[in-house]
Amino acid sequence: MKPFTYAIPCLFGLEGLVGDEVRRLGLEDVQVENGRVLCQGAQSDLPRLNLNLRCGERVLLRLAEFPARSFEALFQGASAVPWEDFVPRDGQFPVKGHALDSQLHSVPDCQKIIKKAAAERLGRVYGLNRLPETGAKYQIQFAIMKDQCTLYLDTTGPGLHKRGYRAVGVEAPLRETLAAAMVILSRYRGKDPFRDPFCGSGTIAIEAALIARNRAPGLDRSFDAQKWRWLDGQCWLDAADEAMDKEFDGAYDIWGGDIDPKAVRIARENAVKAGVEDIVRFDEADVKKFHCQGEYGQIVTNPPYGERLLEKEEAEALYRTFGEVYHRVPPKWRVLVITSHPEFERFFGCRAERKRKLYNGMIKCDLYQFAR
């Protein structure tokens, strides 16, 4: 059987990590590009990617790629896709996408044309003037870049960062995919103590717990493609079995603290939803009193950014306090801090060993890595 081409969009800065994840899952021809990873795999890899990826945003199945300098070319290219192989008689097939650096730049017009092409073809094949679109969703996505159109089906549905454990959040939560990436970059393997002194809704600590357990992050949620008729239902069960067989059972030392009792309560509730409440502890704690013991360990954290002026001053004072606390941290601990404040190092009082540009949704941030 011809292999499928999958595209996995991700937050800028995480492409390399997603590429590693995809390789570890055994997919082939992995290409790491700006903002996405491409790879080749079998049909059975579709559930495996969705269930296991920690840092990717979604899994798209590539259907076609063709030059599209005019609406006519777009219509012809979209009409040539064998939609009937994917979308059944009653399937919903909404269209969304984007266009960049191309002659076709009106997204609503491109959307309409692709929809018309798919609808005409499906109507012809199924002998229907009007398609009911009452069944499962087959989200069509298009990307027109430099006059080249690529058509995909979105297999995921709500983004992969929606693990299902964070139904409620506090202000400024970190994306789960970014939190997981930070934990991976800290090289946390579950052995050493792990600390987040600004835990908020607990995302970083919960992702650390999932990583320590080697628990697939998608096991507690559903995906659009689970309802697709042409996809063998057994491959979802096999992928879940495979993922569960790889889980570890052990004792871990993962802790999150926050000054806000409401945040601590939410973090605890989220840990229960994620099924990791037995290995993560959350406490109400001021960073002023933060301390850690043991030769090795990881601190991975996301202090307040201070987007508004007054908050900015408060955030800066907090960074100073955190910097003073850092001097009490044993020298071999690795410390990773993400913030959008451009002068974090100055207030923290220490130069980072390494700095990476990352995006928390639309907010441009730096991830600072400290080591002594």
Ligand X SMILES: C[S@@+](CC[C@H](N)C(=O)[O-])C[C@H]1O[C@@H](n2cnc3c(N)ncnc32)[C@H](O)[C@@H]1O
Give residues in contact with ligand X (CB under 6 A): 170, 172-174, 197-198, 200-201, 203-204, 258-260, 263, 286-287, 302-304, 318
For ligand X, which residue has the nearest CB? Answer: 200
Sheet holding 95-100, edge to edge: 28-33, 36-41, 4-9, 60-67, 148-154, 140-145, 95-100
Least distance to ligand X, CB of residue 51, Å: 22
- Between residues 91 and 257, which has the closer beta carbon with respect to ligand X? 257
Reading the block at residue 370, the tokens are: 């400290």
Reading the block at residue 258, the tokens are: 């926050």
How far, CA to CA in Å, does 142 sit from each of 110, 114, 121, 370?
9, 9, 17, 41
- Between residues 157 and 303, which has the closer beta carbon with respect to ligand X? 303
- Between residues 232 and 316, which has the closer beta carbon with respect to ligand X? 316
How many angstroms separate the CA atoms of 235 and 223, rounded? 13
Least distance to ligand X, CB of residue 288, Å: 6
Sign for the CA dihedral angle at 139, 140, 144, 148 comes to positive
Sign for the CA dihedral angle at 32, 34, 38, 44 comes to positive
- Between residues 178 and 352, which has the closer beta carbon with respect to ligand X? 178
Q: Facing residues of 358 across strands?
A: 365
Reading the block at residue 340, the tokens are: 């959008």
Least distance to ligand X, CB of residue 54, Å: 15
Least distance to ligand X, CB of residue 278, Å: 21
Least distance to ligand X, CB of residue 333, Å: 18
Least distance to ligand X, CB of residue 37, Å: 24
- Between residues 43 and 340, which has the closer beta carbon with respect to ligand X? 340
How many angstroms separate the CA atoms of 142 and 97, rounded? 5
- Between residues 17 and 263, which has the closer beta carbon with respect to ligand X? 263
Q: What one-letter code names the amino acid at 163?
A: R
- Between residues 122 and 184, which has the closer beta carbon with respect to ligand X? 184
Residues with Cβ within 8 Å of 131's Cβ and at least 6 positions away in sequence, in order, are 89, 90, 119, 122, 123
Element holding 230 (H helix, E strand):
none
Least distance to ligand X, CB of residue 25, Å: 26
